[in-house]
Amino acid sequence: MTSKKVTSIKGVQYAFMLIVVVAMATIPPGTAAGALTIEITQGEKSGIPIAAVPFRWHGTGNPPENLRGIVAADLHRSGRFELLPPADFLSRPSEVSEVRYKDWRLIKAEALVVGRITEKGPDRFEVSFQLLDVYRERVKVALRYTASADQLRQVAHQISDRIFYEMTGIKGAFDTRIAYVAMNITEENDRVYQLMIADSDGHNAQQILKTTNLPVLSPAWSPNGQWLAYVSFSDNRSGANVWLQDISTGSRRPVARFDGSA
């Protein structure tokens, strides 16, 4: 079994081109824009039937995170998998030596995820997981991670990435971050814009910038995930600035300026 140690949040794997930000910078602050709504009505017509068993906990109290829940949500959100309900499980193994493959063929699972979380010391945990091919009765991948409590969500996303790759041949993007702009209208009819970053599933959201009646547009990541580029306005009369902001320190600097006149 391969062992990994989680030491920090991984950089974003995908970045938008800065040219997109520059193109958006010509929009004046008074321009109204409709809200973007993305609605996913269905995924693939037939997802891969997969069973993810709750990770067995070896420690005091309750486990710090529900790893099975995070992994299942990641895979379901991709639209590529059909997550079989735990109520249908005939057994609940935590490692390959406990698996009765017949139990999983009976419920039509093609793949099986098993694992455990072991408390190793103060704020130190070991996570092991195995992805099994039910019909070939073999281990597709087995990995072990060492992490602190606040890194366990990241471990779950990394497990999801590996499962996604092993089952589809495509690199997963669950252990990434997203950037987005939230807009709220106050009782005084002011528009408050918040530039936010979060994990790919929306957890661990952090505010990067907040403005009132000054739009923030088109956030884009640097390739290494350290910097965020975005468009913002200094006031209602001036043009737009393209900023680069360091996510870890909060420092920012302008890299381009555009006249707000028509």
Q: What is the pLDDT of residue 24?
A: 38
- Residue ranges, the chain, pLDDT below 50: 5-39, 261-262
> Domain 48-168: which topology?
Rossmann fold (3.40.50)
Q: What is the pLDDT of residue 5?
A: 46
Q: What is the pLDDT of residue 15?
A: 33
* Nearest Cα to Cα of residue 143 among 237, 60, 71, 224: 71
> Domain 12-31+176-258: which topology?
Neuraminidase (2.120.10)
| Strand ranges in the chain using DSSP code E only, listed in sequence order | 2-5, 48-52, 56-58, 81-83, 111-121, 124-133, 138-147, 177-185, 191-199, 206-212, 216-221, 227-233, 240-246, 252-258
**What are the tens digits of pLDDT across the range 6-59?**
433 333 333 334 433 333 333 444 433 434 444 455 555 579 999 999 999 999
Q: What is the pLDDT of residue 235?
A: 63
The sign of the CA dihedral 189, 194, 200, 205 is negative
Show the DSSP H helices in 25-151 as ranges.
67-78, 101-106
Q: What is the pLDDT of residue 238?
A: 65
pTM above 0.85, yes or no: no
Which H or E run contains 12?
none
The residue ranges of every structural domain in the chain are 12-31+176-258, 48-168
Amino acid at 116: R
